[in-house]
């Protein structure tokens, strides 16, 4: 099958009705705000609310859109919508004292759905994890508990960690674990690493019994209308957090890492004949652990990003206890 259509893209909307071009349709909506809801299909679009910030004026909706036509369904709790070329899905597991088994089931179900519907190329995931730095019923940090389950699903499915795409693993203020994903039927998917940061699935066990599995970015072809999805990016060099307690330092290193990942030298090393700078990145989500750091982070980001980029700042916890900020985005 030849894929000549434009890959899905998102807009950040402050109010309800999304603004769409003629041949576009909504693939799904993620509401970021001060509460959570169940996963559902509303007018044929998967929808959920995630509790990713603590002030109503920071709320917005991430509207994913793609070219028509679209079909949708609900399987194993996964609300999904698809075009000929792309599949978007949302699934949640409720708050619990232990997440590994439910996470393994959730990911196994996602892999099964992508296979049965015929979209084998997982291209991006977002994992919103409530109480991410709290300890579970066994004394294990919830993020590590989540990582155990995700790794188990890969074991069970015989899935190579290197095929896992760009991701976000971030805190939420309630709601258990919500997983949002995007997959493609064909075209090319190329996972991109960062030469200055250790590949996540090679992290030492000091960060948890099972490592996280995600790429630093994923290029989703076709060449025209393709996308570069950039993972949540932090102040990490090698596998170590840098600038402890210094949000400006961490934010600068996160942006340096993002620039390194998307630059021509790195992309070409991965076989992607493109090169980008920070000013090309749009629809950034910036996760900030401490409310008092929001203004500083906004300033540091504004100095290095495009003045026309959509940048959403969210106040939430971050996978590693010592990380104060994480930044994700995409390039059209």
Nearest-approach distance from CB 70 to ligand 3EB, in angstroms: 27
Nearest approach in angstroms of CB 268 to ligand 3EB is: 23
Which residues make Cβ contacts (< 8 Å) with residue 274, sequence separation at least 6? Answer: 219, 228, 264, 267
- Span from 13-21, 164-172, 264-272, 280-288 in contact with ligand 3EB (CB under 6 A): 164-172
Question: Where do the H-state alpha helices sit in 6-141?
Answer: 100-117
Question: Of the candidates 5, 236, 267, 327, which one interacts with ligand 3EB according to CB under 6 A?
Answer: 236
The verdict on 48 binding ligand 3EB (CB under 6 A) reads no
**Is the Cβ of residue 157 or residue 222 nearer to ligand 3EB in the bound state?**
157
| Residue 257 makes contact with ligand 3EB by CB under 6 A | no
168 makes contact with ligand 3EB (CB under 6 A): yes
Q: Is 127 in the site for ligand 3EB (CB under 6 A)?
A: yes
167 sits near ligand 3EB (criterion: CB under 6 A): yes
Query: Of 26 and 230, which has the nearer Cβ to ligand 3EB?
Result: 230
* In the complex, least distance from residue 16 CB atom to ligand 3EB, rounded to whole angstroms: 30
Neighbouring-strand partners of residue 78: 75
Closest residue to ligand 3EB, based on beta-carbon distance: 169
Could you tell me which residues come within 8 angstroms of residue 158 by beta carbon, excluding any fewer than 6 positions away?
A: none
| Pair 92, 77: CB distance under 8 Å | yes
Taking CB under 6 A as the rule, does residue 232 contact ligand 3EB?
yes
Given 234, 258, 281, 313, the residue binding ligand 3EB (CB under 6 A): 234
State the DSSP code for 318. Answer: B
Judged by beta carbon, residue 154 or residue 200, the one nearer ligand 3EB is 200
Burial 28-67 (b: 16+ CB within 10 A, else e): bbbbbbbebeebebeeebbbbbbbbbeeeebbbbbbbbbb
Tokens of 53: 């910030």
Whichever of 185 and 252 has its CB closer to ligand 3EB, that residue is: 252
Active site residue 326: yes
Residue in 165, 169, 211, 235 binding ligand 3EB, rule: CB under 6 A: 169
In the shown chain, the binding pattern of residues 186 to 205 toward ligand 3EB, with x for contact by CB under 6 A and - for none, equals: --------------x-----
Torsion of CA 88, 93, 99, 105, to 10 degrees: -60
Stretch that binds ligand 3EB, among 4-12, 24-32, 227-235, 285-293 (CB under 6 A): 227-235
Distance (Å) of CA 273 to CA 127, 189, 260, 287, 318: 29, 13, 15, 30, 33
- Which residue is it, tokens 């250790």? 198
Q: Answer yes or no: are the C-beta atoms of 202 and 160 closer than 8 Å.
A: no
Q: Is 36 helix (H, G, I), strand (E, B) or coil?
A: coil
Q: Is 84 helix (H, G, I), strand (E, B) or coil?
A: coil
110 near ligand 3EB (CB under 6 A): no
User: For residue 148, what are the contacts with CB-CB under 8 A and spacing of at least 6?
Assistant: 100, 103, 140, 208, 209, 210
- The catalytic residue positions are 326
What does the binding site for ligand 3EB look like in residue numbers (CB under 6 A)? 127, 167-169, 200, 212, 214, 231-232, 234, 236, 319-320
């Amino acid at each position: 099958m030849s894929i000549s259509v434009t890959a899905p893209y998102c807009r950040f909307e402050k109010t309800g009705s999304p603004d769409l071009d003629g041949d576009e349709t909504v693939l799904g909506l993620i509401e970021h705000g001060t509460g959570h809801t169940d996963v559902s299909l509303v007018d044929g679009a998967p929808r959920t609310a995630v509790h990713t910030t603590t002030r109503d004026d920071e709320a917005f909706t991430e509207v994913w859109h793609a070219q028509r036509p679209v079909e949708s369904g609900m399987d194993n709790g996964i609300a999904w919508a698809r075009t000929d070329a792309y599949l978007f899905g949302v699934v949640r597991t409720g708050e619990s004292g232990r997440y590994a088994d439910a996470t393994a089931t959730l990911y196994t179900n996602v892999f099964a759905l992508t296979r049965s519907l015929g979209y084998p190329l997982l291209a991006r995931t977002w994992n919103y994890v409530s109480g991410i730095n709290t300890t579970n019923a066994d004394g294990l940090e919830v993020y590590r508990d989540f990582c155990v389950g995700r790794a188990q699903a890969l074991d069970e499915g015989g899935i190579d960690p290197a095929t896992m795409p760009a991701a976000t693993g971030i805190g939420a203020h309630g709601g258990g674990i919500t997983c949002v994903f995007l997959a493609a039927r064909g075209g090319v998917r190329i996972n991109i690493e960062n030469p200055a940061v250790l590949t996540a699935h090679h992290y030492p066990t000091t960060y948890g019994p099972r490592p996280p599995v995600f790429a630093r970015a994923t290029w989703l072809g076709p060449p025209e209308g393709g996308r570069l999805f950039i993972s949540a990016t932090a102040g990490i060099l090698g596998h170590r957090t840098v600038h402890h307690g210094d949000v400006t330092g961490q934010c600068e290193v996160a942006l340096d890492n993002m620039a390194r990942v998307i630059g021509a030298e790195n992309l070409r090393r991965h076989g992607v004949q493109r090169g980008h700078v920070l000013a090309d990145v749009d629809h950034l989500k910036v996760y900030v652990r401490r409310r008092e750091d929001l203004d500083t982070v906004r300033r540091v980001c504004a100095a290095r990003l495009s003045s026309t980029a959509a940048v959403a700042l969210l106040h939430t916890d971050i996978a590693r206890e010592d990380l104060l900020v994480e930044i994700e985005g995409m390039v059209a």
